[in-house]
Chain A
Amino acid sequence: MKLRMLAAIVFAFGFAIVLSAREKESGALAVGGAVPSVILIRNATILTASHGTIEKGDILIKDGKISAIGGMLKAPGDALVIDATGAFVTPGIIDCHSHIAVDGSVNEGSVSVSSMVNIADVLNSDDISIYRNLAGGVTTANILHGSANSIGGQTVVIKLRWGQPAAKLPFEGALPGIKFALGENPKRSNLRVLTGERYPVTRMGVEETIRSAFTEARDYKKAWDDYNRRVSAGETNLLPPRRDLKLDPLVEVLEGKRLVHAHCYREDEILMLLRVAKEFGFHVQTLQHVLEGYKVADEIAAAGTGASTFSDWWAYKVEAYDAIPYNAALMTRHGVLVSINSDDAAEATHLNQEAAKSIVYGGLTRDEALKLVTLNPAIQLGIEKRVGSIDVGKDADLVIYNHDPLSAYAVVEKTLIDGRVYFDRENDIAGRATVEKEKKDLLEKAAKEQEKEKEKEKKPEGKKPEEKKPEDNPRPPHQEMLGGAK
């Protein structure tokens, strides 16, 4: 019985996603129109992530912020009232490792230190994954460069404001980040055919690459500090050092103005990076994937470094063989700040379920599990004053589920960011007919124009109807092969 219900729900959910996936514009249609400045969500089960669960509670939203939480709240007459009886409200989900909304490759893979490139330059507000992730309750995502380089590109935290131009996506005030990567992907010794020889090809080399880059950055910083000092001392005719876009972000790391998110797997490389960071005096904000983190959880906790891992994704390559689904729970118990991430546009649509797995594997409480995809990643990204929990004064980034979000039955009904509904399942479904009609009309119009063109041409003689042959479609090299994901 339960199984059949699950199947039905999964089918319904999957179907909805497939449909909305077919038309990128359906979401934009759904959320058009004026944004009410006051919204009252009524009579919901509120999972606050910071202070437990409130049964039959109301949330009042004013100008994009949560202005009150409690029972029987009153709203002005022009407020939008959402009756959430029987529904569950959680903070918007925060995905600490995402590659959606990027125009072009997520990897500048040609060099071992690609810190000159910046994901913020190529945010793609048209990526349908933004909308699909909204349909899975994600409101904020840490958009990372790929893992092809020991030191990768600059990264940016975004809010999933579907329909807004790219410049409106970045999370205001969030510190920028930078991607590091350890292990197989940056040493890429198995990918030489695809990518050619490139130093480094060993883990030793990865360490040396990072060390050498920061040595360079330290000298660079010194050169600029000297220059600035001499200029302020009144010296003239001084030649400034060359601005190097590769080293600027590394100096920011040294100055604590940019967060390091390091892709890693094995315990030895984790410890290596923590040592190098200590030596150069910078902080590793998060370890990403960190599938062997449970082995060195105490050391990670002592370094004050966060861990952002998968729930139960493993064995997809040798360095992922020692992964266990208890990783998140074990690290949590050892005092590590842990989040669960997706690293994948599809996985991101059910991060609530991924978080719930840590209740089964490792016995986290419901609150602890929910925090893995809300408050914890918010702290890891330094945006916890704005998002991550349902508290008065925070951004109204909220998800309304029809069932308990820590179950497999939950489907997102509405997703709000800054107090604005960006995903509404009902509107999406209602809007599909309009979208389909527009598409049909445009196709017919194009066909008519083609017909007119053809009439002008004389029909070439003796042309046989062409039969279609199954396409010999060479698959592009998978992101993972090139160090894109995982």
Chain B
Amino acid sequence: VLLAAAGALLAPEVTRGQGGEPRTFAIRGAKVFPVSSAPVENATIVVSKGLITAVGTNLTIPPDAWVIEGKGLLVYPGLIDGFSDVGIPAPSAPAGDTGEKPHVISRGPEDRPATTPWRKAADEVNATDPRVEAWRMAGFTTVVAAPKGGMFPGQAAVLDLGGERPGELVVRSPAALPVSLQTSGMFRSYPSSLMGSIAYVRQVWLDTAGDTKAAALYEKNPRGTERPKYDRSDAAIADALAKHAVVLLPGNSALQIRRALRLGQEWKLNYVIYGAQAGYELAPEIAVAKTPVLVNLKWPEADKDADPEETPSLRELRFRNRAPSTSAALEKAGVKFAFYSGGISAPKDILPAVKKAMDAGLSAAAALRALTLSSAEIFGVSQVLGSIESGKIANLVVTDGDLFDKKTKVKMVFVDGKKYEMREVLRPSEPPKGSLTGKWQLKFTTPQGDEEAAADLTMEADGTLTGTVSSDRGGGNLFNGWVSGDKFSFAINVQIEGNSSDVSFTGTFEGNSMKGTIQAMGYTFPFTGTKPNAATGTEAGGAQ
């Protein structure tokens, strides 16, 4: 019964393109924020066959247009999440040579550890990823999405968050080639150190250049020339770079940002730094380097499970305090920057995070630009996205108030000229009896044996549940998460046997334990959960 009820609640999401609509719209009499120019009161936007065909104050509305009365409404360009994995399902377990699995031991750079640059977000798009709808409901019409995992996880694509078939979402591919400097996590597998990761990435650039040169020479004169080896990674990277994919280098602290600047210059890349939260310390330096940056909106904060007795270092406190002022510093220094959701799992938290940056000095115009046109420019799609101009893709957000006002509601969203209206999610809403916030260890038994997963949950006052679940089988961000009384439910979307599947967790909780049922691919099995870091007084007493 519980499952049935939960099933009903988890029923497909609430916004969809309405079928059978005319392909021409006109929004009349709204306040329009084109971003590329100053806001216009009482303006009209005409949208036809997916494109903006006219914007202005004294327009003749085409006779076949479906007219939307825009009085009291504000229209913004569709928001762009500058770096994310929305729409890209997490890989099912052992994801190629990610180097993350104990049995994949790399013995050097030639093994190409944790390197999958041939993966293309454009090829892995899953239009039914629930986050596509969730992000769209929050006003995001576009994401720059990349596969996850490894030092060269794959090629990012600019995706529009509308459409039925995966191919319909792709605006540009490849748009970017993200690089991370992660280590194997094992002493025995290369690279096991940060300096190893850097040396590895450096070698890959060299090899890619070498292979390209060798291939060209061989093509000219194959007879009598030693045949160059084929390397899947190098070929994919060379291809992405030839197509002007911008390289994303990580850098969050001042130390890391400076390192990224140095490496980007040494490697002569067309590069962008992502993270950039300590940008407040060195915005002028970034400006001198003329490097665009992607600012992670998941501002640093105290760990939910942090030991209250342990005080963080002053360095860390300063960082937490000042990180949101980064974008204001970048604006002042004239650095091109865009925002990305980073670790934010609930899209409704994204704009409040931008608001925090505005409270720390960022102008509203620059904030809006960092969510729209700047991203489009950084990823080479400003011809078609990022502003409300005639000829651009009709990605629009229509609100009933200022975008950054807490009370403002997104009324409708246009993606590629298709209208999506918003409705509220239905769910039970008793006051929660306790809190699920914290790190949980989930145990369950599948036909393959005993397994474990880790859930990092955040519960809000109204019972809304967000967070992440991770396990050997993959993981992802929560959606449809709620707590009501002592009941809870949440779901994640993972790749199972090549298919994207929803896995839902429903059950009850008390204190630091939970129990319930996991539902996936038509199977159900029980699970239990505990908070390993929290010991209740009862348990401590019981142990004696």
A109 pairs with B535, CB closer than 8 A: no
Say which residue of A109, A118, A242, A457 sits within 8 Å of B199 (CB atoms).
A118
Q: Provided the pairs A124-B255, A446-B320, A469-B540 are in contact, do residues A110 and B191 lie with their beta carbons within 8 angstroms?
A: yes
**Does B68 count as interface, using CB distance less than 8 angstroms?**
no
Q: Provided the pairs A111-B107, A126-B315, A460-B435 are in contact, do residues A442 and B321 lie with their beta carbons within 8 angstroms?
A: yes
| A439, B108: Cα distance in complex, Å | 44
Q: Which residues of A contact B193 (CB under 8 A)?
A: 104-109, 117, 122
**Does A430 count as interface, using CB distance less than 8 angstroms?**
no
| A196, B188: Cα distance in complex, Å | 6
| A445, B213: Cα distance in complex, Å | 57
Which residues of chain A in 404-451 are interfacial with respect to chain B, using CB atoms and an 8 Å cutoff? 435, 438-439, 442-443, 445-446, 450
A110 pairs with B188, CB closer than 8 A: yes
| A198, B106: Cα distance in complex, Å | 12
A239 pairs with B213, CB closer than 8 A: yes
**Does B446 count as interface, using CB distance less than 8 angstroms?**
no
| A379, B239: Cα distance in complex, Å | 49
**Does B49 count as interface, using CB distance less than 8 angstroms?**
no
Closest chain-B Cβ to A119's Cβ sits at a distance in Å of: 6
B187 pairs with A110, CB closer than 8 A: yes
Q: Which residues of A contact B5 (CB under 8 A)?
A: none
**Does B207 count as interface, using CB distance less than 8 angstroms?**
yes
**Does A466 count as interface, using CB distance less than 8 angstroms?**
yes
B210 pairs with A104, CB closer than 8 A: no
Q: Which residues of A contact B203 (CB under 8 A)?
A: 116, 244-245
Q: Provided the pairs A110-B187, A466-B535 are in contact, do residues A166 and B314 lie with their beta carbons within 8 angstroms?
A: no
**Does B477 count as interface, using CB distance less than 8 angstroms?**
no
Task: Determine the residue in chain A with the shortest Cβ distance to B282.
Answer: A165
B109 pairs with A465, CB closer than 8 A: no
Task: Determine the residue in chain A with the shortest Cβ distance to B194.
Answer: A104
A439 pairs with B220, CB closer than 8 A: no
**Does A25 count as interface, using CB distance less than 8 angstroms?**
yes
Closest chain-A Cβ to B542's Cβ sits at a distance in Å of: 12
Closest chain-B Cβ to A201's Cβ sits at a distance in Å of: 13
Interface size class of B (residues with CB under 8 A): 35 or more
**Does B152 count as interface, using CB distance less than 8 angstroms?**
no
Task: Determine the residue in chain A with the shortest Cβ distance to B258.
Answer: A165
Interface 1/0 per residue, B188-219 and A, CB below 8 Å: 11111111101110110011001001100100
**Does B225 count as interface, using CB distance less than 8 angstroms?**
yes
**Does B537 count as interface, using CB distance less than 8 angstroms?**
yes
Closest chain-A Cβ to B85's Cβ sits at a distance in Å of: 25
Most chain-A CB neighbours within 10 Å: which of B106, B191, B320, B460? Answer: B191
Say which residue of A107, A435, A456 sits within 8 Å of B314 (CB atoms).
A435
Q: Provided the pairs A116-B199, A118-B199, A464-B536 are in contact, do residues A110 and B192 lie with their beta carbons within 8 angstroms?
A: yes
Say which residue of B311, B434, B537 sits within 8 Å of A460 (CB atoms).
B434
Closest chain-B Cβ to A361's Cβ sits at a distance in Å of: 37
| A117, B108: Cα distance in complex, Å | 11
| A402, B9: Cα distance in complex, Å | 75
Q: Which residues of B contact A468 (CB under 8 A)?
A: 307, 309, 535
Interface 1/0 per residue, A456-480 and B, CB below 8 Å: 1110111111111101000000000
Q: Which residues of B contact A240 (CB under 8 A)?
A: 210, 213
**Does A51 count as interface, using CB distance less than 8 angstroms?**
no
B318 pairs with A442, CB closer than 8 A: yes
| A360, B107: Cα distance in complex, Å | 48
| A103, B255: Cα distance in complex, Å | 9
| A125, B281: Cα distance in complex, Å | 14
Q: Which residues of A contact B187 (CB under 8 A)?
A: 107, 109-110, 194-196, 482
**Does A452 count as interface, using CB distance less than 8 angstroms?**
no
| A106, B192: Cα distance in complex, Å | 10
| A271, B456: Cα distance in complex, Å | 56
Closest chain-A Cβ to B48's Cβ sits at a distance in Å of: 44
**Does B226 count as interface, using CB distance less than 8 angstroms?**
yes
A110 pairs with B190, CB closer than 8 A: yes
| A312, B61: Cα distance in complex, Å | 90
A110 pairs with B184, CB closer than 8 A: yes
A121 pairs with B320, CB closer than 8 A: no
Say which residue of B220, B228, B262, B511 sits within 8 Å of A167 (CB atoms).
B262
A-B contact count (CB 8 A): 177
Q: Which residues of A contact B210 (CB under 8 A)?
A: 240, 242-243
Say which residue of A105, A198, A443, A458 sits within 8 Å of B431 (CB atoms).
A458
Q: How many residues of A contact B (CB 8 A)?
A: 62
**Does A232 count as interface, using CB distance less than 8 angstroms?**
no
Most chain-B CB neighbours within 10 Å: which of A25, A245, A443? Answer: A245
Q: Which residues of B contact A482 (CB under 8 A)?
A: 187
Which residues of chain B in 56-103 are interfacial with respect to chain A, using CB atoms and an 8 Å cutoff? none
B314 pairs with A438, CB closer than 8 A: yes
Closest chain-B Cβ to A258's Cβ sits at a distance in Å of: 15
**Does B259 count as interface, using CB distance less than 8 angstroms?**
yes
**Does B37 count as interface, using CB distance less than 8 angstroms?**
no
Q: Which residues of B contact A23 (CB under 8 A)?
A: 313-314
Which residues of chain B in 324-344 are interfacial with respect to chain A, using CB atoms and an 8 Å cutoff? none
B196 pairs with A467, CB closer than 8 A: no
Q: Which residues of B contact A119 (CB under 8 A)?
A: 195
Q: Which residues of B contact A103 (CB under 8 A)?
A: 194, 255
Q: Provided the pairs A122-B194, A196-B105, A457-B460 are in contact, do residues A237 and B220 lie with their beta carbons within 8 angstroms?
A: yes
A443 pairs with B317, CB closer than 8 A: yes
**Does A114 count as interface, using CB distance less than 8 angstroms?**
yes
| A242, B433: Cα distance in complex, Å | 64
Closest chain-A Cβ to B58's Cβ sits at a distance in Å of: 46
B195 pairs with A153, CB closer than 8 A: yes
A443 pairs with B461, CB closer than 8 A: no
| A60, B68: Cα distance in complex, Å | 81
**Does A24 count as interface, using CB distance less than 8 angstroms?**
yes
B534 pairs with A466, CB closer than 8 A: yes
Say which residue of B206, B314, B536 sits within 8 Å of A25 (CB atoms).
B314
Which residues of chain A in 333-357 are interfacial with respect to chain B, using CB atoms and an 8 Å cutoff? none
**Does B221 count as interface, using CB distance less than 8 angstroms?**
yes
B192 pairs with A108, CB closer than 8 A: yes
Q: Provided the pairs A108-B191, A110-B188, A460-B432 are in contact, do residues A445 and B321 lie with their beta carbons within 8 angstroms?
A: yes
Q: Provided the pairs A153-B195, A239-B214, A466-B537 are in contact, do residues A439 and B190 lie with their beta carbons within 8 angstroms?
A: no
| A110, B192: Cα distance in complex, Å | 6
B255 pairs with A466, CB closer than 8 A: no
A108 pairs with B190, CB closer than 8 A: yes
A118 pairs with B195, CB closer than 8 A: yes
Q: Which residues of B contact A237 (CB under 8 A)?
A: 217, 220-221
**Does B302 count as interface, using CB distance less than 8 angstroms?**
yes
Task: Determine the residue in chain B with the shortest Cβ distance to A106.
Answer: B193
| A467, B538: Cα distance in complex, Å | 9
| A126, B311: Cα distance in complex, Å | 19
A442 pairs with B317, CB closer than 8 A: yes
Q: Which residues of A contact B183 (CB under 8 A)?
A: 104-105
Q: Which residues of A contact B190 (CB under 8 A)?
A: 108, 110-111
B207 pairs with A242, CB closer than 8 A: yes
A467 pairs with B535, CB closer than 8 A: yes
| A329, B195: Cα distance in complex, Å | 37
B255 pairs with A239, CB closer than 8 A: no
Which residues of chain A in 227-270 are interfacial with respect to chain B, using CB atoms and an 8 Å cutoff? 237, 239-240, 242-246
Closest chain-B Cβ to A232's Cβ sits at a distance in Å of: 18
A116 pairs with B109, CB closer than 8 A: yes
A105 pairs with B536, CB closer than 8 A: no
Closest chain-A Cβ to B362's Cβ sits at a distance in Å of: 19
| A212, B507: Cα distance in complex, Å | 61
Say which residue of B195, B317, B433, B434 sits within 8 Å of A446 (CB atoms).
B317
Interface 1/0 per residue, A117-137 and B, CB below 8 Å: 111011011100000000000
**Can you give 23 contacting A-B residue pairs, CB < 8 Å?**
A106-B193, A107-B187, A108-B190, A108-B191, A108-B195, A109-B188, A110-B187, A111-B108, A117-B191, A117-B198, A118-B198, A126-B255, A126-B315, A195-B188, A245-B203, A438-B318, A442-B317, A458-B431, A458-B461, A466-B537, A467-B537, A468-B309, A469-B540
What 5 pairs between A and B have smallest CB-CB spacing?
A104-B194, A457-B461, A196-B188, A105-B193, A110-B190
